[in-house]
Structure 1
Amino acid sequence: MTAAQPALSVVVPIFNELAVLPLFAERLRGVLDALGEAYEVVAVDDGSTDGTAAALTGLRAGWPELRVLRLRRNSGHQAALLAGLLRARGGYVVSIDADLQDPPEVIVELLRRARADGLDVVYGVRADRHRDTRFKRWTAAGYYRLVRRLVGEQVPAQAGDFRLLSRAVVEALRELPERGPVLRLVVPWLGFPGGEVAYQRQERAAGRTKYPLSRMAGLAAESVTAFSAAPLRVATWLGLAGVAVCGVLVVVAVLAWAGGGTVTGWPSLYLAILFLGAVQLLCLGLLGEYVARIYTAVQGRPAYAVAGDSADGEPVRPGGTELADSLR
């Protein structure tokens, strides 16, 4: 590999990770230096406000392989990850978070597996999540069951965003017209040969989680609506069920009237109105999710905007144009 194209790129989306950054950089550099191959680390500063940007600049002064890609605003984990992947130059590209829950030492095994078996994708699979809370394990298991049912069995269970991609996969991602793809679903969907490496997930080394319950719920909703029209079919079936129930109530009312047993009462009317109202609102909500995705796609706004790239001679252009340019 030449200096312009290192053997390996490591993409690290970072948002307010000042507390853990020195420890992460020390462990990651030790692993990568020991490889004895040309590499680069693409640290994507996703609009940090806690001094992370200054810390990255200080680290780069003594670590020439470190690139700092700065986004203009906080765009979210997936957008920052996409920005780093599309600008990485390595023959293989590994994505990893800075919280040290995914051990940097596993990168060596990911690279070895890809080369030994000729794989384009190698997923880091969490073999043991006993350090997570019971609620976290339960919600994660439910999420993976859901997406595997909707997207297909090619989505590996317990695999997050810690993975290795070949240059061919990165170029395939560049060709996608989507502005904000859910990478943990898009990558398996591409169909490249893949494998897995199991590892023990660790506790966060320092700082606070950047994925609270609200963001996990948002990721789940984004995953479902981005890859399946099943919720719309659920709305259809709920509508049909509502019609069927109403039909039964009409028959009951007619029979009661014919038998002279009709009485004035509010419970049946009250329950019927609640049921139909709930079904209608649910269906409108599901339709709204898809209309919102169409609206976002029509707007054509980039998922992120790059403010600067420390790579010498690398032009800075609006984030997301990498996807649009490839379609011309």
Structure 2
Amino acid sequence: MTPRPRALCLVVPVFNEAELLMRTLPQIFACAEQAAPGATVHLVAVDDGSTDASARCLQELQGHYPQLRVLGFTRNFGKEAAIQAGLEYAHAHTGAEVFVVVDADLQHPPVLIGPMLERWRQGALVVEAVKRARGDESRLRRGLARTFYRLFSRLSGLQMDGATDFKLLDRRVVGEVLTLAERTRFFRGIVSWLGYPASRIDFDVPARDAGSSGWGLRALFRYAWRNLTAFSSAPLQLVTLAGVLGLSVGVLLAAKALLDKLSGHALSGFSTVILLQVIFGSLVLLSLGLIGSYIARIYDEIKRRPHYILRPDPPRALSSDGSTDRP
């Protein structure tokens, strides 16, 4: 069995969580310290361009927790960018052997950090917390999430049912995650794609103490489509399939029209022609839109823009004892 870690780092994305932070971050700290007695517990909180008082709350908490480091974005770059920034900074500056990505709202129960560490000590390089029940989400959102993960798993060949960002990663796994250069990030999919030995822990999502999720249905649809096209080219094959089906229908109709003409039963009028034009015209436009989605992914990749921009205040490195100093 692997010895207990000497240093553990928590990566916490934050977006408009001012109502919760003063209560939740101390709880996350306490659970991590209890789970790893004797270890130095670091926490890297990434403020993803919050428009409320989240940044001020994090600054206040820094006065009570010297091992807390706060990174702030110039605007909202998204949760994927926040996870990327937190892992990059934590991997470079903390020297931690184990990293845990956890949400700030306690819907990722921090009490699971202890069992996750035990699985890591038993040899699992990745420990994933998997949703058993999705809490107070509406039936529509639960159904859409279930459909997305089943479709994603089928198209990508990766097991993603119930997947979350709540994960424990060994240091070498984080190093591999950071070497992947794609601009369109999907943390859950990337970790699964790496194929490291993983263990899964089921949990029920608790209700939020305050506030509401920042993920609307429109944002979730956009997020789902972006990740599907980033991890699978299968949707492109639908264009080929549509072409084959269209050709088959065309051949059958042409054969029927020829037989009707030869037998003297051909009907006058253009209803069939107009209907076919509408059907195939729509298929062409749909196919162009699908191809355009992939071209947009290529366009984003070749621009090579950074995943995020940090606010001007320079980050302070975390020393081994949890104190902060300038790099």
Asked if Structure 1 and Structure 2 have the same fold, meaning a TM-score greater than 0.5 normalized by the shorter chain, the answer is: yes
Match of 1:28 in 2: 28
* 1:242/1:276 contact within 8 Å kept: yes
- Structure 2 length-normalised TM: 0.89
The CA distance in 1 between the partners of 2:71 and 2:117, in whole Å, is 24
Secondary structure, in 3 states, of the residue corresponding to 1:124?
strand
Is 1:244 the counterpart of 2:209? The answer is no
| 1:250-269 pair list within 5 angstroms | 250-269=254-273
Which of 139, 143, 148 is the equivalent residue of 2:144? 139
Q: Deviation string for 1:80-139 (max 9, x for gaps)? A: 111111111321110111122111111111112111x21110000112235322112211
Contact 1:92 1:165 in 2 (8 A): yes
Note the alpha carbon deviations across 1:277-314, whole angstroms, 9 max, x for none: 12111111111111111111111111111224243456
Whole-angstrom distance in 1 between the partners of 2:214 and 2:6: 30
Deviations 1:201-231 (A, max 9, x none): 1112211212211222122212211111111
Q: Which letter maps to 1:11?
A: V
Q: Does the residue aligned with 1:160 lie in a helix, a strand or coil?
A: coil
Structure 1 segment 113-124 matched on structure 2, within 5 A: 113-115=119-121, 117-124=122-129
Q: Is the 8 A contact 2:9 2:44 kept in 1?
A: yes
**Structure 1 spans left out of the alignment, 5+ residues:** 316-328
1:43 maps to what in 2? 45
Q: Structure 1 residue 167 and structure 2 residue 171: aligned?
A: yes
Q: Percent identity?
A: 38
- SS of 2:215's equivalent in the other structure is coil
Q: Distance in 2 between matches of 1:83 and 1:206?
A: 26
Q: For the residues of structure 1 that align with 2:225 and 2:286, how far apart are their CA atoms?
A: 14
- Structure-2 change in CA distance of 1:191 and 1:25 (3 Å): same
Alignment partner of 1:73 is 2:75:
yes
Q: Separation in 2 of the partners of 1:197 and 1:24?
A: 22
Match among 111, 124, 129 for residue 134 of structure 2: 129
Can you list the C-alpha shifts for 1:235-290, whole angstroms capped at 9, x where unaligned?
A: 11111111111222222222222233333334322321121012111111111111
Distance 2:19 2:279 in 1: 51
Residues in 2 aligned to 1:63 and 1:121: alpha-carbon distance in whole angstroms: 27
| Equivalent residue in structure 1 for 2:63, among 50, 61, 64 | 61
**Residue 180 of structure 1: CA displacement?**
3.1
**Equivalence for 1:107:** 113
SS of 1:122's equivalent in the other structure is: strand
Question: Partner residue of 1:320?
Answer: none
Rounded to whole Å, the distance in 2 between the matches of 1:291 and 1:313 is 44
Could you tell me which residue of structure 1 aligns to residue 12 of structure 2?
A: 12
Amino acid at match of 2:64: G
1:223 equivalenced with 2:227 (yes/no): yes
Q: Which letter does structure 2 place at the counterpart of 1:29?
A: F
Deviations 1:21-75 (A, max 9, x none): 1221231122133333201111000111111111110111111111101112210
What residue in structure 2 maps to residue 151 of structure 1? Answer: 156
The range that moved more, 252-261 or 44-53, is 252-261
Q: Which moved more, 1:159-168 or 1:216-225?
A: 216-225
TM-score of the pair, normalised by structure 1: 0.89
| Residues 222, 6 of structure 1: alpha-carbon distance in 2 compared, 3 angstrom cutoff | farther
Cα contact 1:79–1:180 (8 A) shared by 2: no
Q: Secondary structure at the match of 1:13?
A: strand
What corresponds to 1:97 in structure 2?
Answer: 103
The structure 2 residue matched to 1:303, chosen from 303, 307, 310, is 307
2:77 match: secondary structure = coil
SS in 2 for 1:239: helix
Superposition CA RMSD, Å = 1.7
CA contact (8 A) 2:129 2:202 kept: yes
The answer to whether the 8 A contact 1:96-1:163 is kept is: yes
Native 8 Å contact 1:69 1:310 kept in 2: no
Contact conserved, 1:96 with 1:162, CA < 8 A, in 2?
yes
